[in-house]
Amino acid sequence: MLPAPFEYHAPHTTEETLELLDQLGDEGKVLAGGQSLIPLLKLRFASPAHLVDVNRVPGLDVIEERDGVLRIGALFRHKAAERSTMLASRYPVIAEAAGQVADPIVRNRGTVGGSLAHADPAGDWGSVMLALDAEFVLQSKSGRRSVKARDFFSGPFSTALQPNELLTEIRIPAAQGRTGGAYLKLERKVGDFATVAVAVHLQMDDGKVRSAGIGLTAVGAQNLKAEQAEAALRGRPLDDAAINEAAELAAAAAEPKADQRGSEAYKRNVVRVFTQRGLRRARERARGGA
């Protein structure tokens, strides 16, 4: 399968990239890991006139925790997330999700930013970022703005990104106190998208929940943030009653659709059970962790 013809640009700096995106407008598309875009080009579901390959722009793949913020560059690859010992110890929800995205070969190329920009409602990173209360830095020739994860997704494959904007980095409030997290994913086989997945990020303080983040994958038109479940946990000891209540609220927040992977009721139940398990696992990790 051959993509429709396009012009190829390989800028070497962010400025050059933004200049190109500005000139090209609707005609241009960013090429990151290519693991969603190239299949779409081959199927001719997308046929942009210009591709702007950002793989040669240095610095877009940073990871750095400083001044209370974890910065993840848009070009940070799934594999790098899977391998980072810092993420495994401080942000287990990121590390645990990373190893479950696609398959190991796709993970070598695919990027966290590309995945967020693609905004597949069954994609894993959106839920992780919702749980972490992340914000995304969107840059264009005329300036930069920050958009909260919860305001970024606007439907299947739709986001706040404008055609002339580049997602440059993801900013996450640094983990504080006793932190735990988990990513539970039900998939039919390795490399499959989620039937249902749940992301949990937990910060404990003195035996009580300081904050809880819960993101839901593949049970709505976009990745969902279970805000009522999160709110129900705040300030409470994480006992069975609290966990069960949050799990019910998360299940109620889900908007699953029946398909070949399962019925609506089944998926909703998986959300409930995974929220329970995820909170327990996150609690264990918070106890063991720093």
Ligand X SMILES: Cc1cc2nc3c(=O)[nH]c(=O)nc-3n(C[C@H](O)[C@H](O)[C@H](O)COP(=O)(O)OP(=O)(O)OC[C@H]3O[C@@H](n4cnc5c(N)ncnc54)[C@H](O)[C@@H]3O)c2cc1C
Q: Decide: is 61 part of the binding site for ligand X (CB under 6 A).
A: no
**CB 91 → another protein: shortest distance, Å?**
21
> Considering the rule CB under 6 A, would residue 199 count as an interface residue with ligand X?
no
CA 243 to chain centre: 23
By CB under 8 A, the residues from 171 to 190 that bind another protein are 190
Residue 248, judged by CB atoms within 10 A of its CB (0-12, 13-18, 19+), counts as: middle
Least distance in Å: CB of 35 to ligand X? 3
Smallest distance, Å, CB 136 to another protein?
A: 25
Residue from 14, 89, 108, 140 binding another protein (CB under 8 A):
108
Alpha-carbon span 271 to 20, nearest angstrom: 42
Indicate the residue among 11 and 289 with the shorter CB distance to ligand X.
11
Q: Which does 179 bind (CB under 5 to 8 A by kind): another protein, ligand X, none?
A: none
Q: Which is nearer to ligand X, 47 or 176 (CB)?
A: 47
242: its two tokens: 């609290």
What's the CA gap between 260 and 188, in Å, rounded?
11
Of the candidates 214, 167, 197, 171, the one whose C-alpha atom is nearest the C-alpha of residue 261 is: 197
| 160 near another protein (CB under 8 A) | no
What's the CA gap between 206 and 285, in Å, rounded? Answer: 15
Distance CA 92, CA 282 (A): 8
Distance CA 204, CA 164 (A): 40
- Which does residue 64 bind out of another protein, ligand X, none, counting CB within 5 to 8 angstroms by kind? none
- Residue owning tokens 């299947």: 156
What's the closest the beta carbon of residue 38 comes to another protein, in angstroms?
Answer: 5
d(CA 237, CA 103): 37
Question: At residue 212, what is the residue type?
Answer: A
Binding mask 31-60 for another protein (x = CB under 8 A): ---xx--xx-xx--------x-x-x-----
Per-position x/- string for 89-108, each x denoting binding to ligand X as judged by CB under 6 A, each - no binding: ------------xx---x--
Non-local CB neighbours of 214 within 8 Å, separated by 6+ positions: 131, 198, 199, 200, 225, 226, 229, 230, 246, 250, 275, 278
CA 286 to chain centre: 21
Q: Is 166 in the site for ligand X (CB under 6 A)?
A: yes
Chain residues in the site for another protein (CB under 8 A)? 1-8, 10, 34-35, 38-39, 41-42, 51, 53, 55, 102-106, 108-109, 190-191
Chain residues in the site for ligand X (CB under 6 A)? 29-37, 39, 74, 101-102, 106, 110-111, 113-115, 117-118, 123-125, 161, 166-167, 191, 193
